[in-house]
Structure 1
């Protein structure tokens, strides 16, 4: 039998939960757009986690040792916005009322850097789940590197809320499999098991045994039969925290649009306002006494705002602990601050390798591996790996252990054949702080990772993608492994810098630029085949300009030859051949469109003077986009079909990537 105190507590719980529900309903209704159902069903879980379990300080969303919370189903954003406002983050009620409106801090899906307390941008299902895996991996690594007995400065959990849609996405499966393999005990997922999708019940397409799947992934699975019961949810959360050797999946049996007389447990409640009449019926059913929208009872607000005090106390304790730690471990404390602030020591670039032509040809992927290792010796926070292609991508940090469940201090991550998850995990690692992640695969598999690159670019995160085997020169593996359209595809992504270096020294410069970049991701496009090494004096400090004059046979060239990557070398050969025929050509090396476009107009006009109309661009990819640089009178030597299986040199020759073809094209244009 319940005591009076328990009854009162239950009534307050209901009031707080219904405050989240009504705020969510009202905001979606006012915007005439949004997803009310999930926030209503998840309100008890959100309330319980944020007020009883989550370690956070609303007054300081950037406190390093806070628990991380990821709402993977970003369409349920009003749940997150309600919790942020109610617990005291810098998100006003006016912003809640401006949900989904131009310039508001409450966009339709949560956006990192736009709203205080939002840990990552979510919306594309499954990616938030994978971001959370990356955050948990970062926590494990930093704890292993910095914690000392009795002084844990890194000790927090990562919580992620996901739904049926998230778990249908393959990227979540990839990430969950890796998380179980790594025994990420501080990763806890709350699964909104409401059985409803946009098209109907999940029975129409999703009948697998989720619990058994996650148990097979080596997760702990906890079932909560009533996802509206705060006590049961809290018990499950504490049980999850007690399991240190496995990530935990808490399966909450919930009801979409909980409390709505006509729309609960229906697809109608997923992505559309309930309607004024249904909202009133729902409020009546919930015992909500006021008809005024956006009402927040003081009694409920008092409960939520206690998070400010508990958060302040938790952070104060951490700061006191950190001060003792810093006195006892000054070098580690300095390294900790350097990792969090992405500190770059003065003159670090001087430690990067320089290559000479006398060393002989070198594949840019090989040069990339040497540059990576040089950078890793300078930056302990540089950490990453490959999607099971490290020997080919040259992405292994020599002398460092692997990041595995028995040694989280390792910096070499074995992502397995999981390109998409690798990309989303890298995003989560960077967002956590203290890690500068990189990841490699073949360029042709950029298709698998592209959605993660897009979201990272949206957030302007400086993660580094290493793409090797960059053209049909891959050869015998054939068209399935020969990228053709991928350069154009990557260049189409806003906020992404794509760099395709022509030799070993340009590759080092590309790495220097990638490491020094703080406001967007960088994709390095690297060759499998060996390439001649250019004079370092020609390439030094020029890559970051995006394009530069590499060779000028005459001050008044008759034709401009523009090339990237491996094709720069056949273009230089063509220039020499044209000179023998009395034709003056200028070779312009353009490793990065994005970096070139960022240069002052005066520089761009100097590299590509308007008076020179005769131009040829040479690149082993589709011609799309090159028209902006060759103009209406120019030509592009590219490839507009899939490749073929044969030795790489044979494939290149048959597709017209030769000095002879460039000369032939130039002479035809100059007739």
Structure 2
């Protein structure tokens, strides 16, 4: 494919000579970043520079001095590989992103990683490496803005009034997740969402004609979006007009299809060669000459360009100053709302909230832990108005509805229950966006097996340190007749292997209480609460405080011969098996391992006090073996997919019975009568940083 002739910005009434110079500076500054790293994506930043200039210069409200200002406009770079563009704009507009930070692009411990990371760089809202996540996060941000505005705004004061802007590319729109979230955004009428689509017709493989020939405009019209086209990104007047029109359309989200040329100004413009590699020294030098810059200077920002962005920075800071003054008056006239607003954005739980969670009541009958979860959610929902979420079309099964609130819909933005529809992946990404917005604690639900559909977004929750609460029911083969397509076997282990993700599988009401406490208190870690369909007994010895340690001794004996370690619905099997073993003269300690992730963080002394030293341990869980090897010598777990039958029959078929636990335990005890039982802790312990724990 032959490169089109090199182009420059089209002059118009709204595109001054300084506008053009600013845009060209962004182009070469971004290309310098990629060249210095000898790695990255220069093409999209060069093509999208006019969009970024217009957004940061005369569209968005933001505060470089206070990046966390709660009423800022949110900006999301969904095509995160173009992050040199965002870093350039943050540097130019006065954020704490220095030229040295830009020189360190993609280097260890820099503020300018290879894709945007919210915890690394001031001004970056979300992690946008996986394509489509960012646009989907933006839908969550808009849901949060709309709900918070309905909660805190009055006829006189508007503490919540901002837009969310997105730049996305062809790759974002090809990912299925954006179909899920864009459909829901149209249904909900999220009028403060403005998406600029970088329509450059190029992906890594080459022209989009290879795989992506749909009419994006018609697709988004079908979703219920406001659709516009700007035929040339360099026509700044048309670009600004389209953005103004999008902001005026208050009942629909907006997408602006903006025609760009990837790598504009380089010899590789318009081709896939401009996508994923530096331009090279020669091409970069010639590109700078094309834009009338000195090819020997790198990361150069001339005084007039610097002065322009300094003026912009001053002007946007004045918007925050006006908002601050308004909030002082708001505090005087609406003190309760003001206090609540600050509590929420400070991430503080309401006083006494966790005391409302239910505990074991004498005489309580068996109950599925999904039912216990429903009791937990509704015990705190009224006092925790920031708790907002929903289910992927499984509300009657997940039991996640809020009895104190109506649905969040287009015409009822004050509602707190979201009908996500059958959109698991999008649901989780939306919750990430809600969390990133601030002021809310989102939760969402589906069957545990379908966490597989949501796994990409759950991973981003963990990476981003977003404390989203995932309520995952039907957590084992015990769900029964729906069969192996619905029975999670490997899913718990998959989630446990994920860093910074608490996987909690409670065995009764006390442990369900503890699971929710952990989920709500650890706001920087997502929680996956795995819940049963079948009834579970309340077990003597379960305690909330002990369960919050992750694992604890549920039932102890003097001089245990064996330790039975259970989790979730299998904990009661261990409990009953201990009675049978006692009758056979074998002393069995019962340990409940509600959350390995939390238990892993306890001291070695505590872990030894729970599991013992040199005592054989048998783990029982109706899921894959996986990480049980570190806490047991023998495992009664799943090694294949399930089957379609009644839950009780499946438990018998796969060995999750009292008789089988007793039989295996007797064999284990007999084996270790003549063989020394190895310690579960007989391995070297290194400093966390040396071992790669950080």
> Could you tell me the TM-score, scaled by structure 1's length?
0.97
**Whole-Å separation in 1 of the counterparts to 2:352 and 2:94:** 43
2:206 matched residue in structure 1? 200
2:257 matched residue in structure 1? 251
- Is the CA contact 2:111–2:120 (under 8 Å) kept in the aligned structure 1? yes
1:667 matched residue in structure 2? 666
1:460 Cα shift? 1.2
Q: Deviations over 1:487-534 (max 9, x none)?
A: 100001000011100012211121122111122111101000011112
Q: Please point out which of 77, 81, 93 is paired with 1:75.
A: 81
Deviates more, 1:272-281 or 1:320-329: 320-329
1:523 matched residue in structure 2? 528
Secondary structure, aligned partner of 1:625: helix
1:647 matched residue in structure 2? 646
1:579 Cα shift? 0.8
1:241 matched residue in structure 2? 247
Q: How does 1:137-536 map to 2 (within 5 A)?
A: 137-260=143-266, 262-535=267-540
- Is the CA contact 2:465–2:526 (under 8 Å) kept in the aligned structure 1? yes
1:547 matched residue in structure 2? 551
Superposed structure 1 runs of 4+ greater than 4 Å apart: 5-9
Matched, 1:582 2:585: yes
1:56 matched residue in structure 2? 62
Secondary structure, aligned partner of 2:350: coil
1:467 Cα shift? 0.5
1:617 matched residue in structure 2? 619
**Whole-Å separation in 2 of the counterparts to 1:578 and 1:163:** 63
**Whole-Å separation in 1 of the counterparts to 2:639 and 2:442:** 34
Secondary structure, aligned partner of 2:106: coil
Q: Deviations over 1:16-54 (max 9, x none)?
A: 001111111111111100000000000000001110101
**Whole-Å separation in 2 of the counterparts to 1:349 and 1:151:** 32
Deviates more, 1:635-644 or 1:305-314: 305-314
- Is the CA contact 2:353–2:384 (under 8 Å) kept in the aligned structure 1? no
**Whole-Å separation in 2 of the counterparts to 1:557 and 1:444:** 36
Deviates more, 1:178-187 or 1:448-457: 448-457
- Is the CA contact 2:358–2:379 (under 8 Å) kept in the aligned structure 1? yes
**Whole-Å separation in 2 of the counterparts to 1:13 and 1:415:** 42
Secondary structure, aligned partner of 1:550: strand
1:542 Cα shift? 1.2
1:227 Cα shift? 1.1
Quote the RMSD (CA, aligned, Å): 1.3
2:631 matched residue in structure 1? 629
1:349 Cα shift? 2.2
**Whole-Å separation in 1 of the counterparts to 2:325 and 2:300:** 39
Deviates more, 1:134-143 or 1:58-67: 58-67
1:287 Cα shift? 2.3
1:6 Cα shift? 7.0
Deviates more, 1:577-586 or 1:181-190: 577-586
1:604 matched residue in structure 2? 607
Name the CA shift for 1:9/1:192 in 2 (closer, same or farther; >3 Å): closer
**Whole-Å separation in 2 of the counterparts to 1:469 and 1:412:** 21
- Is the CA contact 2:228–2:256 (under 8 Å) kept in the aligned structure 1? yes
1:43 matched residue in structure 2? 49
1:311 Cα shift? 1.5
**Whole-Å separation in 1 of the counterparts to 2:506 and 2:280:** 56
Secondary structure, aligned partner of 1:410: coil
1:343 Cα shift? 1.9
Q: Deviations over 1:157-199 (max 9, x none)?
A: 0001100000000001100000000000000000000000000
1:548 Cα shift? 0.8
Aligned length: 660
- Is the CA contact 1:41–1:228 (under 8 Å) kept in the aligned structure 2? no
Structure 2 gap ranges (5+) = 1-10, 671-694
**Whole-Å separation in 2 of the counterparts to 1:39 and 1:292:** 19
- Is the CA contact 1:57–1:307 (under 8 Å) kept in the aligned structure 2? no
Deviates more, 1:340-349 or 1:512-521: 340-349
**Whole-Å separation in 2 of the counterparts to 1:575 and 1:667:** 11
**Whole-Å separation in 2 of the counterparts to 1:540 and 1:31:** 51
- Is the CA contact 1:357–1:534 (under 8 Å) kept in the aligned structure 2? no
Name the CA shift for 1:357/1:532 in 2 (closer, same or farther; >3 Å): farther
2:561 matched residue in structure 1? 558
- Is the CA contact 2:350–2:384 (under 8 Å) kept in the aligned structure 1? no
> Could you tell me the TM-score, scaled by structure 2's length?
0.94
Q: Deviations over 1:580-630 (max 9, x none)?
A: 111111111100101111111110111112221x11100000111111111
Secondary structure, aligned partner of 1:131: helix
Secondary structure, aligned partner of 2:359: coil
